[in-house]
Chain A
Amino acid sequence: MLEANCPNCGAEIRFRSADLPVKVCAYCRSSVVREGESLKAVGRIAEVPEDVSPLQIGVRGRDGALGFELVGRVRWRWTDGGWNEWLMLFDDGSIGWLGEAMGRYMLLRQIAHSGFRTDMVRKLRDGHPVTVGTEATIDGIQYRVTDVKEATCAGGEGELPYSAPLGLTIASVDLMAADGHCASAQKDQGVGEVSVYTGRYVSLADLRASGLRAFEGWPMPQFAA
């Protein structure tokens, strides 16, 4: 844990992990990047518009035996909607993403290798069109592409593993398997880098999520109470 002050506005900011070098200042929305001991404000990130998501920074839960806390969020927008990606900091120091779209949740971790053995991933990297229904095998699991879209970063908050510049555009491919596994491949349209994430669909009850946001007139679900 590192406590510091925002180089832009002077507000107190905290870094939880050495693996998360970026913090969005809650006051001035500066994206503060830590490089060793020095801090640098590298532009601003828009506030995520108010939404009816039960998640918020500070929500805790468990993936099996391993506890986690949500420490950051990136909001993506595409022509027909948007979704949230919540950054999960696990108790063992590793990180993952909890994708939230249409009231459903995907628990994803980035795969260590680049995934280029998968034809679909190579197509995405090389800028060839990827179509819905395409089969793709990643780490022995057979998926099908369910969704292909281009999205733009519309905002962010908290701590992040990278500096998500506002307006960053990605090509995003969602995949689904027969057994509840899911995957996501994203290509940074600026640098051309492809990241592949795999995981599974989860419910908030599966994660035993606590510290959820309370909404007027909606009782807190039993698993979170």
Chain B
Amino acid sequence: MTTPLPSVRALTCTSCGGTIALRAAGSTVSLICEHCGTTLDATDPQLRIIARAHAAMHRPLIALGMRGVLRGTTWEVVGYLERSDGGDGWSEYLLFNPYQGYAFLLDDGRRFSLGFLLDRLPSYTWGEMELDGEGYKRFGSSYATSVKFVVGEFYWRVAVDERVRVSDYVRPGKMISCEENGSERTWTRLWMLEWGEAEAAFGLERRQREWSRPSPHEPSPYRDRLIESTIIGLIAAVTLLIVAIMGGGSTRVASADVQAALDGATHSEIIRDIELPGRNAALTLTARAEQLDNSWVDIDYSLVNRRTQENFDAYALAEHYSGSDSDGSWSEGDSTPSIKLSSIPPGSYDLVVELGAHRWISPSRSLYITSYAPGASSPIPVTITVDRGGMFAGNVILGLILLLIWPAILLFLHFGFEQRRLSPVTEDDDE
């Protein structure tokens, strides 16, 4: 009783006399000779000829009798047919395992899908097909398909030019396909296989990945990366903002009141012993010259490390102008300029400040030019403050943009893909 029985039976083609294999005796109804293409009636012990070959024979990409393991089950190729909807064509392999029954392997020339006949009816709710708690969107309208080529054995009567109406319902990774002919309606659920999965199972050359023409049930290749990068991007952006707010607090490390002589020679002031402990940090140098009136002060900073003599230079301009013209009175200029020095190493520093103040002669005030007496004006007081820490707002914004660029690109790619995937959708025309 436990002696294994042969599962393959050798038959002789009634038409050409060639030896053909019968791999699923009892279930097989149509047997198409792989040598001459004649369709034989497998339910008839005499193998009655049903139809002669219409087209020249060719070999399927995966040969009849080939075995492969897909998702843990060994399948043997027993039948192969090519179908077309008038425009696009695809191949279908009928797979058999005596203990598991049948499966379909679909090949659209780019990707493979594994299909099983459904043993339950999907339900139609809210304009979607539902099966096992998952919704499927209708893909396009139903279309007529016909068999263009067939070889091997099938559990139904198959014939070239046999026409079947197909309706597809899709979700990423899966498709439900409803096939109807006059007397029968069958439902098949297809799982899209991973790139290279079917090729590895049946010893085919691995196909190139490409997403220019996605299948209607193809999962977006960008979706996982989009979710991942959005999460990472948002975490990084929030972290950056928290650091900017927390670390944005600055401390005053030095302050000095100096004077700038109007129209006199520039002179230097030195603010000594600025201690910068810890790590590299930004410094903000602010000059307040609030008494400026139609004049400006050139300020040259030079921050010198007392030990290494390394110096950091910067320039600031404090200015204030006002007057009146036909449009009324006006004023402009920043009398309290701030400049930032980024990433100053820790150490002990002197800040050398060179100041020179200049008067601006407004054209409207040219009449008073005679009243101008050099050296008569009092010098302009300037308060210099040095603050340590703080963030460059521009850098924070730039950082946020950089962090969110990749998720934005992926979002764009994802929606582009989804649009291509579902593009041939037209209105239902037969519901």
Contact = CB atoms under 8 A, between A and B. Distances in A.
Contacts of B99: 54, 204, 212, 218, 220-221, 224
Interface in B100-128: 100-102, 117, 119-123
Nearest to B186: A146
Interface string A161-191: 0000000000000001111101000000000
A201 to B, nearest CB: 4
Contacts of A101: 27
B119 A104 contact: yes
Interface string B1-35: 11111111100000000000001111101000000
A148 B182 CA distance: 12
A218 B119 contact: no
A118 B307 CA distance: 102
Given A204-B99, A213-B5, A214-B2, A80 B29 contact: yes
Given A182-B119, A214-B2, A215-B7, A82 B26 contact: yes
B184 A147 contact: yes
A53 interface: yes
A53 B98 CA distance: 6
B120 A201 contact: yes
Interface string A85-120: 000000000000000011110000000000000000
A215 B6 contact: yes
Contacts of B121: 144, 176-178
- Chain A contact surface mostly: loop
A148 B100 CA distance: 25
B185 A146 contact: yes
A58 B29 contact: no
B5 A102 contact: no
A52 B42 CA distance: 13
A81 B27 contact: yes
A179 B99 CA distance: 23
A49 interface: yes
B184 A77 contact: no
Given A102-B155, A132-B185, A214-B4, A54 B120 contact: no
Contacts of A103: 24, 27, 96-97, 100-102, 155
B423 interface: no
Contact of B43 (A81, A212, A217): A81
A158 B168 CA distance: 44
A52 B7 contact: yes
B120 A180 contact: yes
A81 B184 contact: no
A51 interface: yes
A183 to B, nearest CB: 12
A193 B32 CA distance: 39
A82 B23 contact: no
Bin the interface of chain A by size. 35 or more
A177 B102 contact: no
Contact of B98 (A52, A104, A132, A180): A52
B156 interface: yes
A76 to B, nearest CB: 12
B117 A52 contact: no
Contacts of B97: 103, 218
B183 A148 contact: yes
A219 interface: yes
A134 to B, nearest CB: 12
A50 interface: yes
A180 B2 contact: no
Instruction: From B119, B156, B157, name the one whose CB has the most chain A CB atoms within 10 angstroms.
Output: B119
Interface string A43-71: 00000011111101010000000000000
B74 interface: yes
Contact of A77 (B25, B43, B98, B183): B43
A204 B25 CA distance: 19
A192 interface: no
A105 B8 CA distance: 22
Contacts of A179: 120
Most buried by A among B2, B23, B101: B101
A10 interface: no
Contact of B119 (A50, A80, A180, A212): A180
B5 A146 contact: no
Contacts of B100: 103, 203, 221
B88 to A, nearest CB: 27
Interface in B307-364: none
Contacts of A182: 119
B98 A178 contact: no
A152 B2 CA distance: 31
A127 interface: no
A103 B79 CA distance: 15
A177 B120 CA distance: 6
A146 B117 CA distance: 13
Nearest to A175: B121
19 contacts: A51-B27, A52-B24, A53-B98, A56-B1, A82-B43, A102-B27, A102-B117, A103-B102, A147-B184, A176-B120, A177-B121, A201-B120, A213-B5, A214-B2, A214-B3, A215-B6, A220-B99, A221-B99, A221-B100
Complex A-B, nearest 4 residue pairs according to Cβ-Cβ distance, in ascending order: A51-B26, A103-B101, A201-B119, A215-B7
Given A103-B101, A103-B102, A144-B121, 14 more contacts: A51-B25, A56-B1, A80-B157, A81-B43, A82-B43, A102-B117, A203-B100, A204-B99, A214-B4, A215-B5, A216-B4, A216-B8, A218-B99, A221-B100
Interface of A: 49-54, 56, 58, 77, 80-82, 84, 101-104, 132-133, 144, 146-148, 176-180, 182, 201, 203-204, 211-221, 224
